Amino acid sequence: MAAVMLAVWTVLPFAFAPRDVQAQETIKIGVPAPLSGSYERAGVDIVDGGRLAIEQINAAGGALGRKLELVPQDDACNPDGAAKAATQLVAAGVVAVAGGYCSSAALPELRVLHDRHIPYVLDASTFPQLTDHGWNDVFRTIGRTDAQGGFAAQFMRDVLHATRAAVLNDGSTYSQGLAQSTIAALKQAGVEVVYDRAITPGQPDYRSVIKGATDSKADVLYFTGYYNDAAVLAKNRRELTPSIRYFMGNGTADPSLIEKGGAAVEGMIVTTSPLPQLFPQSRARGFVKAYEAAYQRAPGPYSVYEYDAIGVTAQAIENANSIKPEDIAAALHRLKRYNGATGEIEFDQKGDRAKAPFMAVTVRDGKFEPYASLDAKGRWVAVK
């Protein structure tokens, strides 16, 4: 590990010079994530992305001359478990929190943290309401669901040339939000929504749902849930109606989709925030290299957004010259052009990331590869 750290000290872009880490109490940053249950793998990836950031920051001198300490807490992607996890983080003495996978868990976490004025930098939770309520202590290093819905609708119309769409969700906060924003954008784009259903997560098959989408004569089927159910849907689609174009939202952009779906997900398209290995900038390549060296596996889709969430939090602590939560939140609002592994980061008045990118990826030969994205002028760029 020591050799790895020496090689990657320069990945995180801190604006302060390294200094000796004093032998004093650590600065604690909480990381709520699903560390049990169906989405444990995603939670472990998030925690490991945060741990890598913490190790690099401490190797470079810490923040305010003190070491940072990562405090993971299992929220099980469950609202009740999430409120308990946030309460435990408060009791542990965290001064800020960076994490969140399921929006349904992030909502109760945010309420607990907001009551204590503790800033929460979200790395994966995309539900608009998280930042729409006007609280000044919530931030996001990833794009919002409604922005992704517009991207997906534009992709369906302009790239897939769809005129009739079927949209499925799994009833969760995130999935319903993405489905609703996509449907609204499809209608604005002139694409008819002919099938709109919610599935019950965790079922062994969804043949009746696939048949319903087929009977509606939809050109495309867009699923806004998570990778476990997406893999089952893909297998059912392959059996019943391989002609209908099937693609998915960013809750499925995980290696587990490929492991669970096998040949059935080959050629599937996913709209997502860029995956770690697909960012063009050198800092992202440095992150991927360091992550693989540290954990002997490729980084999950949200590990890099957690890495940057820890990075901006540490930078805000340094800029504020304070570990008071209110001062850290204020410094996050003032943060300008932080050069993270996912690109330049600053936050708008709500705390959302300005100019959050999206792209479409496809499964090819058992891995995610770029499919298409929008350039700076709003033109589609196909990547082969």
Give pLDDT tens digits for 339-382.
999 999 999 999 999 988 899 999 999 999 988 776 666 666 76
How far is it, in rounded angstroms, from Cα 232 to Cα 287?
A: 32
How far is it, in rounded angstroms, from Cα 331 to Cα 336?
A: 10
Average pLDDT over residues 191-218: 95
Q: Is the pLDDT of residue 49 over 80?
A: yes
Is residue 88 within 8 Å of residue 26, measured between CB atoms? no
With H, G, I as helix, E, B as strand and everything else as coil, classify residue 271. Answer: strand
Degrees, nearest 5: CA angle 373-376-380:
35
Q: Considering the chain, tell me which residue range(s) the CATH 3.40.50.2300 domain(s) occupy.
A: 2-143+277-345, 146-272+359-382
Average pLDDT, the chain: 91
Degrees, nearest 5: CA angle 83-334-19:
90
| Percentage of the chain lying above the pLDDT 90 cut | 82
The CATH code of domain 146-272+359-382 reads 3.40.50.2300
Q: Tell me the whole-structure pTM to 2 decimals.
A: 0.87
pLDDT of residue 11: 53
pLDDT of residue 18: 44
Q: Which helix (H) or strand (E) holds 98?
A: strand 96-99
Q: Is the pLDDT of residue 153 over 80?
A: yes
Q: Is the pLDDT of residue 86 over 70?
A: yes
How far is it, in rounded angstroms, from Cα 179 to Cα 191?
A: 14
Distances (CA, A) of 203 to 230, 242, 288, 304: 11, 21, 34, 31
Strands (E) in 100-211, as ranges, are: 120-122, 138-140, 164-169, 192-198
Average pLDDT over residues 265-284: 90
pLDDT tens, position by position, 95-114: 999 999 999 999 999 999 99
Q: Is the pLDDT of residue 290 over 80?
A: yes
Is residue 32 within 8 Å of residue 97, measured between CB atoms? yes
Average pLDDT over residues 228-238: 95
pLDDT of residue 21: 40
Distances (CA, A) of 248 to 7, 183, 201, 271, 320: 37, 14, 15, 6, 40
Q: How many CB atoms lie within 10 A of CB 47?
A: 22
Average pLDDT over residues 142-148: 93
Phi-psi sector, 65: left (phi>0), alpha (psi -120 to 50), beta: left
How far is it, in rounded angstroms, from Cα 340 to Cα 13?
A: 7
**Helices and strands, counts by H and E, the chain:** 13, 15
Is residue 199 within 8 Å of residue 229, measured between CB atoms? yes
pLDDT of residue 19: 44
pLDDT of residue 281: 77
Architecture per CATH, domain 2-143+277-345, reads as 3-Layer(aba) Sandwich (3.40)
pLDDT of residue 56: 97
Average pLDDT over residues 285-299: 96
> What's the N-to-C CA distance of the chain in angstroms?
36
| Percentage of the chain lying above the pLDDT 70 cut | 91
Q: How far is CA 277 from the centre of its chain?
A: 14
- Residue 12's pLDDT band, with cuts at 50, 70 and 90, is low
What is the residue whose two structure tokens read 């609002």?
A: 333
